C-alpha cells in the first residue's frame, strides 16, 4: 500500500494537468495535444461568431443583473450557456443579420428564450419591429448603402435596382431589412418593383410593406416624408 502511495505521488509530481478538465498527462507534449471541450472553447476565442457570442453573453448579464464587473472570457468558457450564445453568434454572422447587438438587446429585453434566439421567427419578429421604428432618413441611408453594394455585385447602376432586381431577390432584401418601405413607397421607381411581385411574393413581405401602416406613418411624419422624397429625387431613384 505504501509503495502504491509513493508511486502515485511520484506520478503526480511529474505529471501535467489540464487546467480546464483536470485530466493529467505524463508529458507536456501530450498535454499540448490534448483538446477537451473547454480548451477548444479557448482556442476558438478569436473566431468572429465566438467573439459576438461572448459580447452578447456579457450584455445578458449587464442587462439582467446589478453586477458592475464584466464577465470574463473564462467565465464564458465555463458557462452552461456557452453553446447557446455561440450558436446565436454563428447565426448572426452566417445570415448577415442587421445590427446583431441591437437584435440581442431586443431579445434580452423581451425575455426571449436563448434556445429560440437562432430561429428565423425571432429575427423576422425583430425585423418587423426594427423596420417600423426606424427613422426615414436612417432607412434611406441604409438602403442606399445596400443598393451600392448590389450595383457592385451585379454590374447594374444602383439607381436601376427597382427596375432590374429579380422579384425573388427583392423579397429576400426586404425581409432582411436591406431595402426599407420608406424608400419603396417614397422614391419614384419603387412602383416598378411592386407591380412585378407575384401574389405569393406579396404575402411573404405583407407584414413589412403593410400599406395601411405606412400610409399612417407617412401622414404623421410629413416633414420627414418630404426630406426622404427630396433625397430620393436627388439620388436619381
Match 425581409 to its residue by C-alpha cell.
Answer: 175
Do both 173 and 229 map to the same domain? yes
Instruction: Give residue 14's pLDDT.
Output: 58
**Last-in-domain residue among 128, 148, 178:** 128
Q: Are residues 116 and 55 in the same domain?
A: yes
Same domain? 170 vs 212: yes
The DSSP-derived string for 210-229 is -HHHHHHHHHT-HHHHHHHH
Looking at the fold, whether 79 and 157 belong to one and the same domain comes out as no
Residue 17 has φ and ψ, to the nearest 5°, of -115, 135
Of the ranges 23-27, 101-105, 117-121, 191-195, which one carries the lowest mean pLDDT score?
A: 23-27
Q: Are 107 and 177 within one domain?
A: no
Question: What residues does 16 pair with on adjacent strands?
Answer: 25
Asked if pLDDT for residue 4 goes beyond 70, the answer is no
147 with 231, same domain: the answer is: yes
Expressed as residue numbers, the domain containing 79 is 39-128
**One domain, residues 159 and 197:** yes
Tell me how many domains the chain contains. 3
Between 114 and 237, whose confidence is greater?
114
What's the predicted TM-score (pTM) here?
0.74
Q: How confident is the model at residue 222 (pLDDT cuts 50, 70, 90)?
A: very high
Looking at the structure, tell me whether residues 213 and 177 fall in a common domain: yes
Model confidence over 34-46: pLDDT tens digits?
Answer: 878 898 899 899 9
Amino acid at each position: 500500500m505504501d509503495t502504491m502511495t509513493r508511486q502515485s505521488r511520484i506520478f503526480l509530481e511529474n505529471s501535467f494537468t489540464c487546467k480546464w478538465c483536470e485530466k493529467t498527462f505524463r508529458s507536456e507534449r501530450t498535454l499540448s495535444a490534448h483538446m477537451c471541450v473547454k480548451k477548444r472553447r479557448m482556442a476558438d476565442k478569436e473566431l468572429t461568431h465566438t467573439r459576438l457570442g461572448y459580447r452578447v453573453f456579457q450584455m445578458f448579464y449587464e442587462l439582467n443583473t446589478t453586477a458592475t464587473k464584466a464577465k470574463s472570457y473564462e467565465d464564458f468558457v465555463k458557462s452552461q450557456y456557452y453553446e447557446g450564445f455561440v450558436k446565436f453568434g454563428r447565426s448572426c454572422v452566417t445570415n448577415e443579420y442587421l445590427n446583431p447587438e441591437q437584435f440581442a438587446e431586443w431579445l434580452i429585453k423581451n425575455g426571449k428564450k436563448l434556445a429560440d434566439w437562432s430561429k428565423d421567427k425571432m429575427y423576422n419578429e425583430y425585423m418587423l419591429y426594427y423596420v417600423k421604428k426606424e427613422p426615414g432618413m436612417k432607412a434611406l441611408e441604409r438602403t442606399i448603402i445596400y443598393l451600392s453594394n448590389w450595383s457592385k455585385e451585379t454590374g447594374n447602376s444602383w439607381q436601376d435596382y427597382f427596375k432590374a432586381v429579380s422579384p425573388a431577390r427583392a423579397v429576400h432584401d426586404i425581409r432582411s431589412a436591406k431595402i426599407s418601405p420608406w424608400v419603396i413607397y417614397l422614391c419614384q421607381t419603387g412602383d416598378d418593383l411592386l407591380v412585378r411581385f407575384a401574389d405569393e411574393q406579396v404575402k411573404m413581405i405583407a407584414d413589412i410593406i403593410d400599406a395601411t401602416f405606412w400610409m399612417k406613418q407617412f401622414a404623421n411624419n410629413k416633414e420627414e416624408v418630404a426630406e426622404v422624397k427630396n433625397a430620393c429625387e436627388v439620388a436619381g431613384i
